[in-house]
Each structure stands twice: as structure tokens, then as C-alpha cells.
Structure 1
Amino acid sequence: MITLVLMVIAMPAFADEPVTLSSASTAAEANLVDIRALVPDIHEDIKYAGHDNFVGRPVDGYAAPKCLLLKPVAEALARVEHDLRREHARLRIWDCYRPARAVADFVRWAHDLSDQTTKAAHYPNLDKSKLLGDYIAPVSGHSRGATADLTMEQCDAHDRHCKPLDMGTPFDWFGLRANTDNPGVTAEQRANRQRLLRAMAREGFKNYPMEWWHYTLQPEPTPRTMYDVPIR
């Protein structure tokens, strides 16, 4: 039995109702599908399957660099991607469904105040002891299979040489500058964030205002169910 401690990057859909852990042991049982089954060439950069993330190593539950989502969510995200390609743009995906055990791993990392290896890249203006509570807490939309972390890339007229838009911060940057409407970013960065927001909103995704990269499909297919299926 794992301790359910999840990163707070989305408010719970029903704060006054219990969220239960699914008994599903496979992606198929949880109705989780690989986004590449719908968009084979979508750009993935799954951070928690590697070392380029705020814990500095692969995270528990990420045995493969895949974006899994509940089927209706994957279908909606595929529509966003197809719409963007008409503008010679596309998505770059950093994270999708996140097993509950992965967030428990985040909390263990946050308690280890001696590990400061990623401070400069991810929380340069914060003491690590402040991450628990404000940034790491018991609720995450990712474990419900309806949330994705992503950015937008602009390609040339031939849909090649795609480059990420300047959004003002990297992914998983802990601080106010990552807030979607933060006034401290440049006009170009704000416009890029709004462009991503509009593209996602057209297909029913809602942004979490504290993180410009974080989107959840509304309404969620399983708003009171979390999953702990490893990503394989």
C-alpha cells in the first residue's frame, strides 16, 4: 500500500467529496490510452521518465516515456494538435497521466532538504523547505488521467524546424513568474501563453492559473478517481 500524497497542480474537482484510488492494474483497465495511438508523431519530452526534472532522476512509476490519458482526454488533445498544425504549430508534451506513486516520490524528495541539486533550475528564489504545502501537497489532477503539462512550438512553412515559443519560464519552475497571467513577463511571452490557452480552451481544456503549462479537460471523465498504474 502506498501513501497517497500528490502534487498540488490542480484544485480537486469536488473538494467536499472523497477521491478514491482505482483498483485498475493496467492502462487498459483504467481506460488510459497512449496519445501516440491517435497522433503517432506528436512531440513528446516526458520529463519524469528521465533526469531533466526537478527531482533530477527518473520518478517512480515512469518506466517508459509515454503520455497516457483517459480516452476522451486523449481524443480532445489530438484535436488540439490537429488544429495547431493548420497554423504550422504543434504541441510539445512534458507530462500527462501521473501514477499516484510518482507524487509520493515527489514528497519524499521534498522532505530531503540536503538534496539541492536542481535548485538553480527549478526553485532559484525559494527555500526547498517552502515547497511542501504551496507546491507539493495531497491532490493532483494528473493522477486522475485528465491533465497534461505542455507547451507550443512554431514550425516553418514546411512544418519543419519547430521551436518552442518563449513562455517566460521553463517547465516546473516554482515561483510566481510561472503564473499564467503574471505581469512580470514580457508582452511576447504573455501573448504566447494566451495563444496556448486559446488553443487548449477550444477543445475544453482549462488552465491552472498558477502554472501556464498545466491543462485539465473539463468536465473530467473520472473526477473522483485516481490511478496508480505504472507507465510502461
Structure 2
Amino acid sequence: MKPYQQIAIDECGEPLVPIPPEHFSFELPHPYQKLGAPYHNSKADSPYYLRQGVVDSLIAAQMQIQQTHPNWKILIFDAYRPVEVQQFMVDYTFNQIAVAQGCEFPVSEDKRQVIIEHVYQFWAVPSMDRATPPPHSTGAALDVTLLDDNNLPIDMGSQIDEISERSYPDYFGNSNDPQTQEYHHRRQILKDAMIAAGFQQHPNEWWHFCLGDQMWAWLTNHNNSDSQFFARYGRY
């Protein structure tokens, strides 16, 4: 169990709604759908759904970015992710790492344990327990990046879902190299806008933000020792 999963959930019952396309861009076709992820079994026909309150805050973040970069736009890479899709992607990532490491299948138990621990540094456990839902399965977490004036993705120094230390939000923070300093600056623009709108950022992923789920409550409590927040969004 990860620390944030100890946070209690007081489900508010807010609906899952489509993310409005007039405000944002989307990763199309969606990479997980291309791989065959089973969205057809879920309560939404695509990843591009969030709880209503999270959508409202995301719109506020977009407006914040456009105050300083009028033609920049938030690109939604991923949002609502049913537990079945979480399981699919954990299995896919595990297999990719195993192949890259030259493992024979079936993978030996000791090697399997090493790989799965590495996978779970970046992917949440696909738990069906309502007390410990994967963040994306609540409709309160999303993966985002930025598009520039030409509607092209801005280079943030690593790809979304990259399993490496380069994905840590502040990985380039202490660099003296102008190019990597720019990566950090771009990440900060995204982070500052999302935090101002009420989101919290995943400690290991520059692209992952959440609002109202267990991770959000845990990070909020951690950053404000005199507060005691609970999650208001559980598994949807």
C-alpha cells in the first residue's frame, strides 16, 4: 500500500463528465486505445472524462496559462482510466521492461518482483478495493502537457509515461545547461498553473495532476501540516 492510499474517502457523488473539447486538445488517437485497452467495458467510452469539479478547475488552469502565453493550450494525454485499463497498462509496461531486459517468459519470480516494483514507481496498483482505487480510476487525476503557438507539443525533457528519473518533476531543476534549464522552466509553467487551480502534482511524474482523490488529499496534508483533508472522489 502506498502512503496516500491510507487517506479516507468520503465520496461526494459528483458525476463523471466529458472534458470540453473547445477548451483543450486531446491525444488522438489515444495511445492506450491503440494498444487495445478495454474502455468498452467502462462507464465512459474514452479516457477524456473527469469529475465535474475537476473539469472546472482544469478550465481555470488553462485560463491561467493563457494570461502569460495566450496561444498555448493544455493537451490532455489521459484522464479517466477504468481499473481494467489500469491492469492492462501495468501488464503491458511489465512486458515491455521484461523484453528490454532480455528476460525469458515466463519471467522468474525473483526477476518478476524486481520489474513489478519498478513498474509501481510510476503506475498505481490496479486495485479493485474501493478503499484503495488507482488515482485515474476516480475521475480526479489526469496526465497533461502543453502545446505551443503552432499547436505542437512542447518538449518537456521526457515523454509522458517514460519510466526513468527524467520524469521526476524537478529532475532538471539544478542543471546549468541552458537546454535542460528550459525543460524545467516549461514544466514549472504547467505546474504553477495547475497548482493555482487547486491541483497537486505527482511526486514522480511531471505530467500527472490530481484534485480531490486520495493522492491530492495526502499531498495537501503533507504540504500543510495543520490541515486534514479527506478524498472526495473514490472509484467511479
Q: What's the TM-score once normalised by structure 1's chain length? A: 0.68
Q: Deviations over 1:67-95 (max 9, x none)?
A: 10000001111122233334221101100
The corresponding residue for 2:130 is none
Unaligned stretches of 5+ in structure 2?
103-113, 126-132, 218-229
Unaligned stretches of 5+ in structure 1?
1-5, 23-28, 52-56, 120-126, 156-160, 228-232
Q: Give the Cα separation in 2 of the matches to 1:113 and 1:84.
A: 35
Q: Secondary structure at the match of 1:163?
A: coil
What letter matches 2:17 in structure 1? Answer: V
Q: Give the Cα separation in 2 of the matches to 1:58 and 1:71.
A: 27
Greater relative contact order (Cα 8 A, min sep 6): structure 1 or 2? 1
Greater C-alpha Rg: 2
The corresponding residue for 2:6 is 15
In the alignment, which of 122, 127, 132 is matched to residue 135 of structure 1?
122
What letter matches 2:170 in structure 1? Answer: D
Q: Secondary structure at the match of 1:103?
A: helix
Aligned pair 1:85/2:83, yes or no? Answer: no
* RMSD between superposed Cα atoms in Å: 3.3
Q: Give the structure with the higher percent helix.
A: 2
What letter matches 1:43 in structure 2? Answer: S
Q: Deviations over 1:115-163 (max 9, x none)?
A: 738x9xxxxxxx85553443344252111111110001221xxxxx222
Residue 187 and residue 100 in structure 1: after superposition, are their counterparts in 2 closer, same or farther (change >3 A)?
Answer: same
In the alignment, which of 182, 191, 196 is matched to residue 171 of structure 2?
182
Identity %: 23
Is contact 1:45-1:65 (8 Å) kept?
Answer: no
Q: Give the structure with the higher percent strand.
A: 1
- Report the alpha carbon displacement of residue 50 of structure 1 after superposing the two structures with TM: 3.3
Is contact 2:122-2:205 (8 Å) kept?
Answer: no
The corresponding residue for 2:92 is 109
What letter matches 1:44 in structure 2? Answer: F
Q: Give the Cα separation in 2 of the matches to 1:61 and 1:186.
A: 37
Aligned pair 1:99/2:82, yes or no? Answer: yes
Matches within 5 A, 1:1-232: 12=4, 15=6, 17=8, 31-36=15-20, 39-40=21-22, 42-45=24-27, 47-51=30-34, 57-61=35-39, 64-86=45-67, 87=69, 88-110=71-93, 112=95, 116=99, 128=115, 131-138=118-125, 140-155=134-149, 161-183=150-172, 186-218=180-212, 223=232, 225-227=234-236
Corresponding residue pairs, total: 190
What letter matches 1:32 in structure 2? Answer: L
